[in-house]
Structure 1
Amino acid sequence: MPAALTLSNIGLELSGNAGPIEILRNIDVEVATGETVGLIGPSGSGKSSLLMIMGGLEQATAGQIDILGQNVTHWDEDKLARFRLDHMGVVFQSFHLLPTMTALENVSVPLELAGRKDATARARDALADVGLADRMDHYPSQLSGGEQQRVALARATAPRPEILLADEPTGNLDQANGSAIIDLLFNLRDHHDATLIMVTHANDLADRCDRKISLLDGQLEEQPVPLARQA
């Protein structure tokens, strides 16, 4: 079975007022199918940029990326978008819900774009899985922050993706809602048997993963996970 994700010598350089800025350099990492990985590091270390490259949402300036056995390095945006619809789910810190659509419509749209004939039924099931069976017809403005993130989780997992990417999924939530969202994220990951890669500032959240990787000054370093987690 191929690895879920392989990054080979990935680099990212952006243009700045003072010249080129090196965000990532010489990134080599392989994530096994079904593995959970916590990506940690200080603000500005490039964690979110790396996650976006993993999801084909940002283009690396060097290296190669293989997802589910396919070299996607030079794919155009349309091909990458179609691939994400079929194989990947992404959860952001900001919920990115469409304000003029209900919770059900927000979850249904990606399924409809992917050509799923059971889009509405699957969206209903996904919202029920995150505890929002009675809030499906509500608009984002009628939902709390925690509820909006639950809708975002339902949207990401409704297609039953092989890979889940989460970028600070609790960053805009209080502690209680944040803990509930993380529990849901791991439960959904287990339910769909997906590979999970999560960016977080919180070591305790990363400790729940199979592996913990630190990003500092644009480079990766493996970190130990608690012995209890290893067992």
Structure 2
Amino acid sequence: MTSILSLKDAALALDSNAGRVEILHGITLEVHKGETLALVGPSGSGKSSLLMLMGGLERATGGQITALDQNLSAMSEDALARFRRANMGVVFQNFHLIPTMTALENVATPLELAGHRDAMERARAELDAVGLGHRGDHYPSQLSGGEQQRVALARASAPSPQILLADEPTGNLDQSTGEIIMDLLFDMHAKRGTTLVLVTHSNALAQRCSRVVRLRDGLIADATDAAA
């Protein structure tokens, strides 16, 4: 299987008022192209921090992280931003929509930044794909939590990323709305072959993935096929 993300002895330590805090301790992990991978574990185990390292949103303080054969650890911040824009989509628990932009504008923004002349047309198609074509002129404050997450998913998927990273994508949603988001995530994976890595506390969501990696105290405790 082709590796699309590779971490070798990746470590993360951050400074705090209490001193240096070691968050991740030498993580080694291969993520294969086209797979669905769940990162699970108790709060504070390092799941979200690991996801942020994979996306270059946090800098590893040790080891190496490679995505699509590119060494993220060696890239400048500008180069990382360009690489993410071209190859990755990120969905956060708290949506992170721009409040002064409509749903359509939120989805179109990464396409416009990437220089796509058909940004608005593609954004409309993505909103249609998540069932919100009729809500394109609404602002985030006019949308429910589930609708905001669908806009966030449309924004992440609009550039057709090879890698989609999702941090607790259903964490702020009720069960039925969360199931809609789950279905959309896996439908995107099935239709587009996107590699999906997600952090979740939901066992039901984790079991839909092809592999589950469990973290504990900043280390990988075990990694198994979800069906195992």
SS at match of 1:166: strand
CA contact (8 A) 1:161 1:192 kept: no
What residue is the counterpart of 1:79 in the other structure?
79
- State the Cα distance separating 1:190 from its structure 2 match: 1.5
Q: Distance in 1 between matches of 2:150 and 2:18?
A: 41
What residue is the counterpart of 2:24 in the other structure?
24
Amino acid aligned to 1:181: I
What residue is the counterpart of 2:102 in the other structure?
102
Cα RMSD between the aligned structures? 1.2
Alignment of 1:23-102 (within 5 A): 23-102=23-102
CA contact (8 A) 2:41 2:47 kept: yes
What residue is the counterpart of 1:129 in the other structure?
129
CA contact (8 A) 2:206 2:226 kept: no
Structure 1: gaps spanning 5 or more residues:
none
What residue is the counterpart of 1:224 in the other structure?
224
SS at match of 1:115: coil
- State the Cα distance separating 1:123 from its structure 2 match: 0.4
- State the Cα distance separating 1:13 from its structure 2 match: 1.0
Q: Distance in 2 between matches of 1:16 and 1:59?
A: 16
Please give the TM-score of this superposition, normalised by the length of structure 1.
0.95
Q: Distance in 1 between matches of 2:161 and 2:136?
A: 22
Deviations 1:171-207 (A, max 9, x none): 1111110111111111012222110000001122111
Q: Distance in 2 between matches of 1:224 and 1:43?
A: 20
Structure 1 stretches of 4+ moved >2 Å? 16-19, 221-227
- State the Cα distance separating 1:226 from its structure 2 match: 4.7
- State the Cα distance separating 1:2 from its structure 2 match: 4.6
**Quick one: percent identity of the two aligned structures?**
61
- Equivalent residues, number: 228
Amino acid aligned to 1:145: G
Deviations 1:91-125 (A, max 9, x none): 00001111111100000011000111111111011
SS at match of 1:134: helix
